[in-house]
Amino acid sequence: MDLLNTLVDKGLRRELPTREEALAVLATSDDDVLDVVAAAGKVRRHWFGRRVKLNYLVNLKSGLCPEDCSYCSQRLGSKAEILKYTWIKPDEASQAAAAGLAGGAKRVCLVASGRGPTDRDVDRVAGTIKAIKEQNEGVEVCACLGLLSDGQAERLREAGADAYNHNLNTSEATYGDITTTHTYADRVDTVNKAHAAGLSACSGLIAGMGESDEDLVDVVFSLRELDPDSVPVNFLIPMEGTPLAKEWHLTPQRCLRILAMVRFVCPDVEVRIAGGREVHLRTMQPLALNLANSIFLGDYLTSEGQAGRADLEMIADAGFEVEGAGEVTLPEHRASAAGGCGAHAGAGCGSHEDAGCGSHENGSVCGTAAPAPAAEPRTDLVALRHRGVGTDLAPNA
């Protein structure tokens, strides 16, 4: 197919596709999805081989958030029956991190709900980073604490943070429909602050919130312009008790097309499958490893993920290998440009796991597809996290 051949050639040259080409990927039919995966897989393997990077989330502070992000179970007014607790102690965070690292993770993502950290919060997280790095040699640490004030990114870097995550989530045009307590520009500003401080920037999206194909392409093109080292792709988990609880628009094929579009637009960037893969990709998860080179191991912030052992078996069975602690994630040209932290892996978090996959499927590579039927809600696959950090139960790692 001419479109896919063109996109592969551009991906190998790090050349930006046109908007029309990106939209055409999303418009391909289910009949052509394997061709799309195969094409994007060539780009993924060119820059990242068959390695899969494992990341592990530690939720430092759960719930109690004053922001009104519609997708988030920790939002102001959420009725989701999630774990709620204030800041955990550094040793507890370090123990949780050690469980993930023992399972094969090389990066720990420290996440805290809230609009953004106070200076005291930054000091608290700095102590946690120090504890984790002292007790786990070679670990990479990404912080995800919300909107940053001037000087806070620099302080996190001085404390040993390697990366900072802050997702754009959706297009600028539709951002106000999802969140009203802060702006899209606020999020862009925080990503720029992380860049300026020398942190490896991580910023991604949430698909499945009712956005159009155009919105998806807009946010991914905006991410390409921001140039993060890592792009987490969340698929909305429509949790009961949140405004988007009824947004079930996804199919596994749709998710694969979205991941392929992200890979074509961001060919040499770490693309991570973040929240929602178990709910929406389901048995098609191994195919997605041909598109993304990074996943989270174990549970998410407020929902449970696939068993850690199942993740490792899936990676091996699909013909991939877990990226070792001593391996560099990013291609050489990005790792050297990113400096010390980027030379380790340029990853990040993808803090809000509650996400999904879009709809609006028409057309195909050949221009023949009809709209696909809506997916049936799989609420049985949504499980709140009640183990690990904040509980007396062992974590899933």
Indicate if 272 belongs to the active site: yes
Binding-site residue numbers are: 65, 69, 72, 109, 142, 202, 272
Which member of 157, 187, 202, 349 is catalytic? Answer: 202
Indicate if 349 belongs to the active site: no
Q: How many CB atoms lie within 10 A of CB 373?
A: 8
Q: To the nearest 10°, the Cα dihedral for 109, 112, 118, 120?
A: -70
Indicate if 142 belongs to the active site: yes
**CA-CA distance, 189 to 288, in Å (whole number)?**
31
**CA-CA distance, 186 to 43, in Å (whole number)?**
32
Q: Are 198 and 160 in contact (CB under 8 A)?
A: no
Q: Are 261 and 301 in contact (CB under 8 A)?
A: no
Phi first, then psi: give them for residue 218, nearest 5 degrees.
Answer: -60, -50
Indicate if 19 belongs to the active site: no
Q: Looking at residue 22, what is its pLDDT?
A: 98
Which member of 109, 144, 341, 349 is catalytic? Answer: 109
Instruction: Report pTM.
Output: 0.89
Reference 250, options 208, 213, 220, 292; nearest CA is 208
Binding-site residue numbers for [2Fe-2S] cluster are: 109, 142, 202, 272
Which member of 107, 224, 254, 272 is catalytic? Answer: 272
Indicate if 202 belongs to the active site: yes
CATH class for the region spanning 2-381: alpha beta
Sign of the torsion formed by the C-alpha atoms of 47, 51, 52 and 58: negative
Residue ranges of the chain with per-residue pLDDT less than 50? 340-373
Indicate if 65 belongs to the active site: yes
**CA-CA distance, 265 to 274, in Å (whole number)?**
18
Q: Looking at residue 173, what is its pLDDT?
A: 97
Tokens of 239: 């949790």
* Burial environment of residue 328 by CB neighbours within 10 A (0 to 12, 13 to 18, 19 or more): middle
Binding-site residue numbers for [4Fe-4S] cluster are: 65, 69, 72
Which member of 75, 107, 142, 385 is catalytic? Answer: 142
Q: Are 245 and 238 in contact (CB under 8 A)?
A: yes
The CA-atom distances, in angstroms, between 226 and each of 42, 193, 203 are 24, 11, 9
Phi first, then psi: give them for residue 219, nearest 5 degrees.
Answer: -70, -35
Indicate if 72 belongs to the active site: yes
